[in-house]
Amino acid sequence: MCSLHSGAVEPTAPPQGELYSEGAGTSRVPPLLPAEEPRSAKRALSALVAMDAAGLVLGWRLFDHAAHLGGALFGIWYVAYGHKLLWRKRERLVKLWHGVRSPGGGGSGPGG
């Protein structure tokens, strides 16, 4: 994977945005136990997004700030809308997958 936000092609670690996405999504989910404090996760996410936005604007090069911001936006979008969208389309996607995966599209199992 490469980063292009600085104008030069630079190597970057692929899981940066993915891990950031998972953290952002997790911070937006309501707590499972009443004793958990959701505000601290939201504050941490806000601070990290602010740091990455500043890093992107100021040209800091230690991290791939664009990947982090994209991951955060995707994680928040997925928790808010994505899982509902995917579960509504699940049956159609599963039928399509079984048609592609099965030999002849007939839905027969492995080996005939």
pTM for this structure? 0.59
pLDDT tens readout for residues 70-107: 888 888 888 888 888 888 878 888 888 888 888 765 54
> Domain residues of the chain, as ranges?
2-83
The identity of residue 50, as a single letter, is A
**Which neighbouring-strand residues pair with 10?**
3
What pLDDT score does 14 carry?
Answer: 62
SS3 call for 3 = strand
pLDDT tens readout for residues 22-69: 777 777 766 666 656 667 777 888 888 898 899 889 888 777 888 888
Higher-confidence residue: 17 or 55? 55
